């Protein structure tokens, strides 16, 4: 499991100081980007050098408790299911061990030139298995 910490800023909240529901998706995206970076794969470099990118195909999310302005939240990411051309991440957003958001995010590997799904490169696939 990989853990990334983020602070909630004013721009993340509604007028009541509570994180706007769609902004949780940004925290999840940032955490997945950092997961890839920590595994040795930067998204810009993947697109430039290999012609692939990862894109969200679907997600299921449950909002359990709100995060608020100035909270420090942790996004915990693991791999729930790893296929040939897609990966399902299990992501949880917590504050001090208290579960706020629980999500399953299906991400497809795309061939940018063809605009369609392609197999996850072996070296990336292999590294993703460490998060199962």
Active site residue 14: yes
DSSP string, 30-87: HHHHHHHHHTT--HHHHHHHH-EEEEEEEEEEEE-S--BTT-EEEEEEEEEEE-SSEE
Q: What are phi and psi of 120, to 5 degrees?
A: -65, 130
Annotated catalytic residue, options 12, 14, 70, 111:
14
Q: How far apart are CA 36 and CA 22, in angstroms?
A: 22
Tell me which residues are annotated as active site. Answer: 14
């Amino acid at each position: 499991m990989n853990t990334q910490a983020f602070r909630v800023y004013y721009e993340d909240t509604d007028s009541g100081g509570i994180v706007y529901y769609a902004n949780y998706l940004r925290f999840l995206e940032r955490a997945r980007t950092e997961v890839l970076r920590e595994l040795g794969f930067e998204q810009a470099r993947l697109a430039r050098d290999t012609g692939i990118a990862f894109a969200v195909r679907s997600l299921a999310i449950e909002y359990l408790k709100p995060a608020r302005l100035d909270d420090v939240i942790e996004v915990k990411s693991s791999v729930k299911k790893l296929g040939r051309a897609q990966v399902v991440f299990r992501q949880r957003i917590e504050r001090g061990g208290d579960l706020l958001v629980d999500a399953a995010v299906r991400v497809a590997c795309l061939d940018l030139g063809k605009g369609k799904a392609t197999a996850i490169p072996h070296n990336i696939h292999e590294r993703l298995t460490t998060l199962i």
